[in-house]
Structure 1
Amino acid sequence: MIKEDKKIPFFLALMPILIMVSAMIITIVVFKGAPHIPLALGTIIASLVAWKQGFSWKKIEDSIYDGIRLALPAVVIIILVGMIIGSWMGGGIVATMVYYGLSLLRPDLFLVSITLMCAVVSIAIGSSWSTMGTIGIAGMGIGASMGIPAGMVAGAVISGAYFGDKMSPLSDTTNLAAGLTNTDLFVHIKNMVYTTVPGILIALVAYWYLGSSFVSTEAELTNINNTMTLIQNSFFISPWLLLVPLTVIIMVGCKIPAIPALTFGVFLGFLCQIFVQGGTVASSISALQNGYIIDTGNTFIDSLFSRGGIESMMYTVSMTIVAMTFGGVLENTGMLKSIVEKMSGMTKSAKTLIPTTIASCFITNATCSEQYISVVVPARMFSSVYRERGLDSKNLSRALEDGGTLTSVFIPWNTCGVFILATLGVGVLDFAPYAILNYSVPIISIIYAITGFSITKLKSDQHIQSKPMVKATN
């Protein structure tokens, strides 16, 4: 990582962000383009600002590479998920999950059911991405078969997956927030109950209300039965195929890292396509690279199960890399530090400090495009400020998760936003209104800060004089 003593003034640090956001709005809204070029423009402007402030090109170049290196684990997982979708489509695994889901779940309660299913799995394995890449894929197929809008289903999947990710002691972001703030892990999780449980309850009530319009009429049941028949005619359906996703979930739950667990899932799907569905080795390899293609003559079935492959993820991979070049320059040249320090200097009490922390996490998600940075940077910047204000560290750890972990999904170029687009096939603008947990929790957290509810102050014997602001070591 880069270490520099140069300090970039606040307004100069803000310039690349303002230019990037303006270019993003024009490109996406006016020209209906992709976010890649605005992000690249932001990287260029940030690099020019850093150069004018005395940074050498070598330092700027290294900061770009540091940003890309931070994205590499996400890139590997994105590629693996593309392969898993292709192999599970070809192996009939997704078709089996959709078939049994249609036979067991009611349309009016589907949104509530899929939220709870994703929450339970995510708590067990501690990973929202793995949950969305397994249960979420099937949930999208079941919801589509029931006539429920894709954005609505994706929102329910995301809410459930992130509830479990946030509340699981196995979650990397949960451990990260607790560790960076020197907060006991289970004290941190217990404190998050105050904001996260009301958030999921609000989401479940909303999903129950939204789902009530999808009643099980005779016509609807006929459509579902027809879909099940078409699936059964197109794939070999067996409950034994459910062992494949179950195996992956158990592996991750047993603390096997995501990459080898997902790789094993790809291997099982590949074997299922050959030995269960009767595919050839060539077609199975093609499904991993180009995605599984089915041609039944039924448009809905063909569009539902023709998906996946490495190639389908290249848009997502390229956007992740470009976004992280921008984030790398902002983080490693101290621009983001300058902005966050300016924001922290305007806080006088918990009523303003916690909302400022949440806002900083969101801004970091939007600028650095990585959920982990949105937890790490504000944690470093605000830890001494919380001590100064006499606030317990668990207030900071909760604010980091409420503002960082959850809001990452709302940024189209953030690694979480691009992963959801690649996996669930739904863009931010479509699912954002329905990812109810993810925006209700930050709002609840801000309300608590203003009212003082569940805000814990340091006892007199715990109060530590504030040390100078922790310097970012980049």
Structure 2
Amino acid sequence: MKRNTENKGNLWALLPLFVFLLMYLVTSISIGDFYKMPITVAFLTAALTALIINNKKSINEKVEVFCKGAGNSNIILMCLIFILAGAFAQVAKDMGAVDSTVNLGLSILPGNILIGGVFIIGCFISLSIGTSMGTIVAITPMAIGIAQKTGIPVGLALGAVISGSMFGDNLSMISDTTIAATRTQGCEMRDKFRTNIYIALPVAVVTLIIFIFINKSGSVTLSQNYSYSIIKVIPYLAVLIAALIGINVIKILVGGIIFTGVIGILTKSFDIWGFVNSIGKGISGMSELIIISILIGGMVELIKYNGGIDFILGFIKSRINSKRGAKFGIALLVSIVNLCTANNTIAIVMAGPIAKEISDEYNLEPRKVASLMDIFSCFCQGIIPYGAQILAAAGLAAVSPFLIIKFLFYPYLLGITAIIAIIFSKL
């Protein structure tokens, strides 16, 4: 179906976005709770608004356009990957892989670099399991314990946890943000990873040095013995290695689920029905993200059809006249959406189609655009006090989110480095 050229450059077509912002952002700020309003309800209302506007077209035509966007091959493939990633993550968790990985790190952690070690563990776990939230929930109790035993400020310990978790969230092959960024821009995950790592790795090294310097006061020995099983860490390593050598992500996740399930059964972590139930639980855990992706796909297609995308492109184009300007425009776009939604994956899914249009117009490399979107969404998500990551860590430690913010060295440095990389055309 062709785009409705009669409404080209139509500001009114962006009304669904404003409805979403009004329902979600304004409501959340006014009641002081960013999780009171279900984000699915806000997106459903915005999608229905997109179907209602433009009286020149029949409802049947608009529904057809919506279904075309919701059923876009990239959206459906992204949902399939989300399903498999959720299943793998849950099976691995129930099998004991997360606990073993955390305890393995703690058992070899030198006492004089405890906070740096917490950061390294966070980086490894988040890179392996592809979720910042899973990493935070897994190692925050350990970080709190370290702070209590050593007198290290809790905010500093949690800053190391969140910094490490955002490293993998930004880079992991099975991270929601990586999946969304690569699918919306049409590039391979390994290409995005190779582009992204040149920005993220140096930042991680500098962050590690900062944490070690802060923690240089002396060596502390942890008395607790941490038990782990090497065989339970293997699935994460296998998935990471398979992704790095370029195996198809569907094959990786299916193989990872089966491999992890077999280990879980052999180690008696669960039986065959426990394995099946873990898969089902993991799939259910991704349902909200899948629903949101479908609603966004249809809504964005209607916005595009009615001229909203053309309006945004025209607005951005009038203020940029170079590839560098286009990159800054994309960075600003995904950052603003992330600040409004407090969810980096949703920000990428929403901004992705618009970023693709800008990318095509200015002949930008898809791998760089995907990296750009992922970096700036993770930068914003990693520092906002109302984001799930900071709220989760602060909640587990029973401290204010603002005690953590000043120690979030990795997200801050990531954003600064990315800006420098754009200026010097390295990103």
TM-score, normalised relative to structure 1:
0.63
Q: 1:272 to 1:325 in 2, by over 3 A?
A: same
Candidates 381, 400, 409, aligned match of 2:369: 400
Unaligned runs of 5+ in 1: 123-130, 291-308, 387-392, 413-419, 457-474
In 2, the alpha carbon distance for the partners of 1:2 and 1:85 equals 40
In 2, the alpha carbon distance for the partners of 1:411 and 1:72 equals 27
What is aligned with 1:110? 117
What is aligned with 1:467? none
Amino acid at match of 2:288: Y
Are 2:245 and 1:254 equivalent residues in the alignment? yes
What is the CA distance between 1:273 and its match in structure 2? 2.6
What is the CA distance between 1:345 and its match in structure 2? 1.3
Q: 1:318 to 1:154 in 2, by over 3 A?
A: farther
Q: 1:288 to 1:213 in 2, by over 3 A?
A: farther
Equivalent residues of 2:337, 2:351 under 8 A apart:
yes
What is aligned with 1:66? 68
In 1, the alpha carbon distance for the partners of 2:129 and 2:401 equals 16
Equivalent residues of 1:139, 1:153 under 8 A apart:
yes
How many residue pairs are counted as aligned between the two chains? 383
In 1, the alpha carbon distance for the partners of 2:57 and 2:211 equals 51
1:435-469 CA distances to partner (integer Å, 9 max, x unpaired)?
Answer: 765565555555677xxx5259xxxxxxxxxxxxx
Equivalent residues of 1:140, 1:153 under 8 A apart:
no
In 2, the alpha carbon distance for the partners of 1:174 and 1:280 equals 36
Equivalent residues of 1:63, 1:329 under 8 A apart:
yes
What is the CA distance between 1:20 and its match in structure 2? 1.5
Equivalent residues of 1:112, 1:204 under 8 A apart:
yes
Q: 1:337 to 1:240 in 2, by over 3 A?
A: same
1:132-186 CA distances to partner (integer Å, 9 max, x unpaired)?
Answer: 4389856752443232766752442222452577xxxx99957986979xxxx89
1:331-374 CA distances to partner (integer Å, 9 max, x unpaired)?
Answer: 34431221121221133567865533432454577799463774
Query: Of the two, which has the highest radius of gyration?
Result: 1
In 1, the alpha carbon distance for the partners of 2:349 and 2:322 equals 26
Candidates 250, 272, 286, aligned match of 1:313: 286
Are 2:167 and 1:144 equivalent residues in the alignment? no
Are 2:96 and 1:92 equivalent residues in the alignment? yes
What is the CA distance between 1:24 and its match in structure 2? 0.7
Are 2:52 and 1:48 equivalent residues in the alignment? yes
Q: 1:358 to 1:100 in 2, by over 3 A?
A: closer
Show the 5 A alignment for 1:267-346: 267-277=258-268, 279-290=270-281, 309-346=282-319
What is the CA distance between 1:380 and its match in structure 2? 3.3
SS in 2 for 1:255: coil
Equivalent residues of 2:324, 2:425 under 8 A apart:
no
Are 2:357 and 1:380 equivalent residues in the alignment? yes
Equivalent residues of 1:10, 1:335 under 8 A apart:
yes
In 1, the alpha carbon distance for the partners of 2:138 and 2:44 equals 35
1:238-284 CA distances to partner (integer Å, 9 max, x unpaired)?
Answer: 32333322222233233222222112222222222322126333333
What is the CA distance between 1:113 and its match in structure 2? 1.6
Equivalent residues of 2:8, 2:310 under 8 A apart:
no
Amino acid at match of 1:108: I
Candidates 348, 353, 356, aligned match of 1:371: 348
In 2, the alpha carbon distance for the partners of 1:289 and 1:176 equals 27
Equivalent residues of 1:354, 1:399 under 8 A apart:
no
SS in 1 for 2:268: coil
In 2, the alpha carbon distance for the partners of 1:179 and 1:275 equals 38
Show the 5 A alignment for 1:102-251: 102-106=106-110, 107-114=114-121, 117=124, 131-133=128-130, 137=134, 141-147=138-144, 153-162=161-170, 189=195, 199-200=203-204, 203-205=207-209, 207-208=211-212, 212=215, 217=220, 221-222=222-223, 224-225=224-225, 228=226, 232=227, 237-251=228-242
SS in 2 for 1:310: helix
Q: 1:189 to 1:425 in 2, by over 3 A?
A: same
Q: 1:272 to 1:442 in 2, by over 3 A?
A: closer
SS in 2 for 1:3: coil
Equivalent residues of 2:115, 2:211 under 8 A apart:
no
Are 2:59 and 1:57 equivalent residues in the alignment? yes
What is the CA distance between 1:39 and its match in structure 2? 1.3
In 2, the alpha carbon distance for the partners of 1:246 and 1:440 equals 27
- Output the aligned Cα RMSD: 4.7
Q: 1:214 to 1:242 in 2, by over 3 A?
A: farther
In 2, the alpha carbon distance for the partners of 1:317 and 1:172 equals 11
What is the CA distance between 1:206 and its match in structure 2? 5.3
What is the CA distance between 1:40 and its match in structure 2? 1.5
Equivalent residues of 1:98, 1:141 under 8 A apart:
yes
In 1, the alpha carbon distance for the partners of 2:269 and 2:359 equals 58
Q: 1:60 to 1:105 in 2, by over 3 A?
A: farther
Q: 1:362 to 1:403 in 2, by over 3 A?
A: farther
What is aligned with 2:23? 23
Paired-residue identity, %: 16
Equivalent residues of 1:159, 1:200 under 8 A apart:
yes
Unaligned runs of 5+ in 2: 145-153, 382-386, 395-399
Equivalent residues of 2:91, 2:279 under 8 A apart:
yes
Q: 1:330 to 1:397 in 2, by over 3 A?
A: same
Equivalent residues of 1:361, 1:400 under 8 A apart:
no
Equivalent residues of 1:374, 1:405 under 8 A apart:
no
In 2, the alpha carbon distance for the partners of 1:329 and 1:283 equals 43
Candidates 256, 268, 291, aligned match of 1:265: 256
What is aligned with 1:14? 14
